[in-house]
Amino acid sequence: MTPNAIAEHFDITRQSISKHLRILSECDLLAQKHEGREIFYELKIDKMKEIDVWLDQFRKIMQQQFQQLDEVLITLKNKKK
């Protein structure tokens, strides 16, 4: 998609979209294709999958912590009854 096409889907300025696209490109998460004066951006799915795998370890930790918190809250609630 072009930056203008992307911007149509968000309630932020075109400049903000360009800044985000630049950062994502610098992180090698987007591929750029030049066609005439237009630049088309495409998400690099493989790179996003790498990030998802990396984040998954933290996701599991957070799920465990929330589960423990739920158990504590249930115990406290039952004590009040």
Helix and strand tally (H, E) in the chain?
Answer: 3, 2
Q: Quick check: pTM over 0.95?
A: no
According to the model, what pLDDT value does residue 45 have? Answer: 94
> Once rounded to an integer, what is the mean pLDDT over residues 19-25?
95
pLDDT digits (tens, 9 = 90+) for 26-72: 999 999 999 999 999 999 999 999 999 999 999 999 999 999 999 99
28: left (phi > 0), else alpha (psi -120 to 50), else beta? left
According to the model, what pLDDT value does residue 80 have? Answer: 82
CB 45 within 8 A of CB 31: no
